[in-house]
Amino acid sequence: MKLLLTAFEPFGGDARNPAWEAVQLVQAPSPAIEITKLQVPTVFHDSIRTVVDAVAADALDAVLSVGLAGGRSSVAVERVAINVDDARIPDNRGNRPIDEPICADGPPACFSTLPIKAMVAEIRRCGLPAEISNSAGTYVCNHLMYGVLHHAAAQFSGVRAGFIHVPYTPDLVLDKPSHPASMALPDIVRALEAAICAIAAHQTDCKSAEGSLY
């Protein structure tokens, strides 16, 4: 399996982005898995262009994008991306779209084509907290997930794609009020490697109840 693994540059005033720090440390869990890594600008539209250009240049099987979700307490495997940008803070070029469609003629939402339930199960098997998330937000991560899935459906059939949000690392919460939840960097790395194992092992997802009541 040939996998493109992407993560974002720091944003929102943080000096580092643990998503990219973790991605840099990820090792292919088996010789049958070839991983290419790509840092993506935390910028609306440029982020999609960067990843879509990389997908077009290579014969890939899957794209796994990773972003920081500061405040989350577990690794969140995203189920769906919605066709809207609503930025609470500007991106790294000062863009701040409010209630704008990502793609004017695109569908309202795009579902992950990765085996999200198997990924959650495999991360938990490593002893790490993981969950299905039903919202990737309305900022650049949701934007990229939507853009990659929309392009994949239109131009790169056979390329599976999806998104994982990771928590802060402990060093990044020290100066934040009430110290939001965090996860050690080596654990985030292990979680991503487990998710990659699941992507390689499962062409179709397994069925398990992971929905939320509210």
Binding site for ligand PCA (CB under 6 A): 8, 11, 17, 19, 42, 67-69, 137, 139-141
Which residues are bridge partners to 7 per DSSP? 39, 66
193 counts as catalytic: no
**CB of 199 within 8 A of CB of 3?**
yes
Match 């793609």 to its residue by tokens: 103
165 counts as catalytic: yes
DSSP state of 146: H
126 counts as catalytic: no
Q: Which of 150, 165, 193, 197 is catalytic?
A: 165
Joined tokens for residue 159: 């390329």
Letter string b/e over residues 97-127, b meaning 16 or more CB atoms within 10 A of that residue's CB: beeeebeeebeeebebbbbbbbbbbbbbeee
Joined tokens for residue 117: 């339930």
Q: Which of 78, 143, 151, 193 is catalytic?
A: 78
Q: Which is nearer to ligand PCA, 12 or 29 (CB)?
A: 12
Q: Which is nearer to ligand PCA, 139 or 146 (CB)?
A: 139
Q: Which is nearer to ligand PCA, 1 or 103 (CB)?
A: 103
CB of residue 202 to ligand PCA, shortest distance in Å: 25
Q: Which is nearer to ligand PCA, 33 or 168 (CB)?
A: 168
Joined tokens for residue 127: 């002893």
Q: Which of 45, 110, 122, 141 is catalytic?
A: 141
Q: Which is nearer to ligand PCA, 7 or 152 (CB)?
A: 7
Say how far apart CA 145 and CA 180 lie, in whole Å.
25
Say how far apart CA 143 and CA 136 lie, in whole Å.
9
Say how far apart CA 65 and CA 37 lie, in whole Å.
10
CB of residue 167 to ligand PCA, shortest distance in Å: 11
Which residues are bridge partners to 133 per DSSP? 78
Say how far apart CA 153 and CA 136 lie, in whole Å.
19
Say how far apart CA 64 and CA 164 lie, in whole Å.
7
Catalytic positions, written as ranges: 78, 141, 165
